[in-house]
A = this chain, B = another copy of it.
Amino acid sequence: MDYNSLEMKVAVITHDRETNSPVLILKSEEEGSLLPIWIGPYEAYAIMMEIEGIEAPRPMTHDLLKNIVSALGADLEYIEIFDLSDNTFFSQLILSTEDETISIDARPSDAVALALRCSANIYVSREVVEAGGAREGDGKTKLDKKSIDEMLKDLKPSDFEAGDAGNK
């Protein structure tokens, strides 16, 4: 990764009542900086299910992503969020095979959902953290621990954990 990148971890997924959108909050444990990323509901569930250790009876889409990477003999080395442009975050997956290293364009939500499943590090360039970030306690980003429980309460297992069903 860029030498100027910061390792960050998933701090929490919360919910922005104003936009009615899930927000993924990344945190640098070293520096305390936070990076909020507004993501889609399905990707939020994919991240939460991994964090909460909920195993689906059938492979969900991000489980399938992981299984394909592994079946094709590749490893996810790390993911990197490297740009914030027109209010959209850009990231890439860094995959390694026996012969080469490959980078693949991905949204941060997909990249993080895959990184968690592969125990891969999450790096964010300092420019992105400065442009899109916040700090704990500055009021710009409210970390609401309760929201996770609320979202998990709203999680309908039938929507997100089930296999594709027949006409019963």
Contact = CB atoms under 8 A, between A and B. Distances in A.
A87 interface: yes
Contacts of A159: 40-41
Main secondary structure of the interface of A (DSSP, over half): mixed
Contacts of A125: none
Chain A interface residue number, banded: 35 or more
Nearest to A58: B107
Contact of A84 (B59, B74, B166): B166
Given A21-B158, A64-B104, A109-B164, 18 more contacts: A37-B165, A38-B165, A38-B167, A42-B61, A43-B61, A58-B88, A61-B61, A64-B65, A71-B104, A72-B72, A87-B165, A88-B164, A88-B166, A90-B163, A107-B163, A108-B164, A131-B166, A132-B166
Interface of A: 21, 24, 36-43, 57-62, 64-65, 67-69, 71-74, 84, 87-90, 93, 95, 97, 102, 104-110, 131-132, 134, 140-141, 158-160, 162-168
